[in-house]
Amino acid sequence: MSVPGARQVFPDRLRGIALLGIVVVNVPLLGLSYDGFTAASLEGTANKATAFLVIALAQGKFYLLFSFLFGYSAAFILRDGSAPNRRRFRRRLIGLAVIGFVHAVFFYIGDILISYAVLGFGLLAVSGRSDRALRRWAIVGVAVGAILPFLFLGPLTAIDPNSLTGHTDPTLAALDDALANGTFLEAALARLRALPIVLASLVALQDVMAFGAFCLGLLAARSQALADPHLRLPQWRRIALIGLLVGLPIQGAAAVMALVPQEDASASASVAAVGTALGFATAPILAAGYLGLLGWGLASRPHLVAFEAVPGRVSLSVYIGQSVLLSFLFCGYGLGYFGQWTALPVVLSGIAAWVVLAVLARIWLSRFDQGPLESLLGRWTGKASAAS
């Protein structure tokens, strides 16, 4: 049983796992092309299998888990609805927006913190509503988020969040060139120019659904759903089985479509775009399966994936740190490997970055209570993070 006021184990371990899932999705955009996996990077069975696994198992899923945890943690700040805590939460959102903007311009343009800051004000607006109202907002967010990728299929194919779904916008092509050959400032300017396009594609692909996940996380926190996994073993088992048995086949099919060969460029762009949209639209099913699987595992084995709790405790610092390490590995102003590797080594480099930062996080937490960015954000908001 959890001790009142103690930091909960489940959220930290889920955050740590989500960070690993997020980096394997982000690293192709950091190391290959803003478009992600390219045709040249998929030559050979190992590279094709790597891309398939990333798209089928990770793309869109771990972002939703991270969003769910954002809502879950928000409840610890907004628990009493008092004016000081609401003001603290607003300051936290402003701080995240600033960190996110710096992150997007100088290291990784696909930053999620800007979106979280904007959506967080929506969460603040509904945080005092009843459970029934929050469930409705969650349903609306997930439903609309599932429709948007298909609704914007044509525009998305044109501006292309993934080169395997269409033709790349010239601004994004210029971004690739700056990342490969430019100085640090030239790459930053290229990211800044491309940022409006990227933010628009994020809205269409995942931001609305993320708001639904925020609301679900807030609801889960009200019932302390993650506090004692062993008390909800039947629920976790049921969620895991339904999510995995239904989600895996759908995501597998979507990944096959997204990776369709490009001998016929016009035909493959349409098929791949539908596959990409299908993958994002149905991502909540498999994400729920992962959540249930971890809950099921922790209910049976409390020390399961204990190492993942370390990066989960300093998730903001690890999230930004991953981009810093990988941008200097790949960009022209660093080691300059941008666009030179294939899918498998690029994804392995993302996993390696997560491992390095997890080890550094353990060393850091042996001396300090919070990560460096968590401490900075805590000072800005006026109070350290609550146990969550």
Residue 272 is predicted with a pLDDT of 81
Name the strand (E) or helix (H) holding 92. Answer: helix 83-106
> How would residue 52 be classed by pLDDT, with cut points 50, 70 and 90?
very high
Chain-centroid distance, C-alpha 350? 14
Kindly tell me if the per-residue pLDDT of 85 is higher than 50.
yes
The end-to-end CA distance of the chain, in Å, is 15
Residue 155 banded pLDDT, cuts 50, 70, 90? low
Distance set, CA 244 to CA 10, 21, 59, 252, 284 (Å): 19, 16, 15, 11, 11
Distances (CA, A) of 252 to 7, 245, 276: 36, 11, 11
Q: pLDDT digit string (tens) for 281-337?
A: 999 999 999 999 999 999 988 888 888 889 999 999 999 999 999 999 999 999 999
Percentage above 70 pLDDT, the chain? 90
Q: What is the DSSP string of 263-316?
A: SSHHHHHHHHHHHHHHHHHTHHHHHHHHHHHHHHHHHH-TTTTGGGHHHHHTHH
Task: Give the residue from 131, 4, 8, 62 showing the smallest Cα distance to 350.
Answer: 62
Q: Where are the domains of the chain?
A: 9-381
**How confident is residue 6, by pLDDT bands cut at 50, 70 and 90?**
low
Comparing 68 with 201, the larger pLDDT belongs to 68
Provide the whole-model pTM. Answer: 0.91
Stretch 225-240: mean pLDDT, rounded?
Answer: 93
- The pLDDT tens digits of the residues spanning 263-275 come to 445 556 678 888 8
Quick check: 157 pLDDT over 80? Answer: no
Mean pLDDT of the chain: 89
On whether the CB atoms of residues 224 and 72 are closer than 8 A, the answer is: no
Confidence of residue 171 (pLDDT cuts 50, 70, 90): confident
| Confidence grade of residue 205 (pLDDT, cut at 50, 70, 90) | confident
Token pair, residue 187, equals: 């790459």
Instruction: Please report the pLDDT score of residue 168 as a whole number.
Output: 56
